[in-house]
Chain A
Amino acid sequence: DAKTTQPNSMESNEEEPVHLPCNHSTISGTDYIHWYRQLPSQGPEYVIHGLTSNVNNRMASLAIAEDRKSSTLILHRATLRDAAVYYCILSTNSGYALNFGKGTSLLVTP
């Protein structure tokens, strides 16, 4: 199964942009790239997903490398409420599971 690699933790200042990287070098052509986040004591929350082209929504932007072996989640202006664990996940046609790894713990400081 295609796996993802993310840094364990990152830190950002409030109101600054945040770039959260994800490597997925074994991604296959039909795998979608999903991002979810989990605030403390909450269930995961969908952030964004894409296949090949960059994607934008009200929460974030997703930049996908041309070879699709990596992607970056961009939070344009971090707020204290964005402090969470961010998971980069590939949805594959080998099963129905979203395989959550350890994710990146984002700390936002005032």
Chain B
Amino acid sequence: NAGVMQNPRHLVRRRGQEARLRCSPMKGHSHVYWYRQLPEEGLKFMVYLQKENIIDESGMPKERFSAEFPKEGPSILRIQQVVRGDSAAYFCASSPLQDWMNTEAFFGQGTRLTVV
């Protein structure tokens, strides 16, 4: 059973371009979370999605950032018009249960975005 798969592992974008980060949850998991980690910092929650629904996007910037988890295919985190401050590692996690407080989350290896 493959773990949480994120791609690409490394992404370089010029300022003003768009970045698309993909996350395939573990098989059978329908709950996906996105986190961002700035250098030397802990992870910060961005958004929680279930299939075709955004449940909690309280940690996601209001502008330029969007996320989706379609019925088919991976979850996508999209950053439009990237700026240098968007450079970070972006991690995706998935879990099998809706009782998220009493279960473990499985994290991917992350996508390291560098904006030049």
Where the two chains meet, the residues of A that have a C-beta atom closer than 8 Å to any C-beta of B are 30-32, 34, 42-46, 49, 51, 87, 91-93, 95-103
Where the two chains meet, the residues of B that have a C-beta atom closer than 8 Å to any C-beta of A are 4, 33, 35, 41-45, 48, 55-56, 58-59, 91, 93, 100-102, 104-110
Shortest Cβ distance from A30 into B: residue? B101
A102, chain B: closest CB distance, angstroms: 6
Partner of B42, one of A43, A95, A102: A102
Are B101 and A97 touching (Cβ within 8 A)?
Answer: no
Partner of A46, one of B42, B55, B105: B105
- CA of A97 to CA of B42, assembled, Å: 13
The A/B interface has a contact count, at CB < 8 Å, of 61
Shortest Cβ distance from A31 into B: residue? B101
Q: Which 3 A-B pairs have the closest CB atoms?
A: A97-B45, A43-B107, A100-B42
- CA of A98 to CA of B33, assembled, Å: 10
- CA of A34 to CA of B95, assembled, Å: 14
Shortest Cβ distance from A87 into B: residue? B42
Known interface pairs A43-B109, A45-B107, A101-B42. Does A32 touch B48 (Cβ–Cβ under 8 Å)? no
- CA of A30 to CA of B43, assembled, Å: 23
Sample (27) of A-B pairs whose CB atoms are under 8 Å apart:
A30-B101, A42-B109, A43-B4, A43-B109, A44-B93, A46-B104, A46-B106, A49-B104, A87-B42, A91-B100, A91-B102, A92-B101, A93-B101, A95-B58, A96-B45, A96-B48, A97-B33, A97-B56, A98-B33, A98-B35, A98-B105, A99-B45, A100-B35, A100-B42, A100-B43, A101-B42, A103-B42
A92, chain B: closest CB distance, angstroms: 7
Known interface pairs A91-B101, A96-B100, A98-B45. Does A44 touch B107 (Cβ–Cβ under 8 Å)? yes
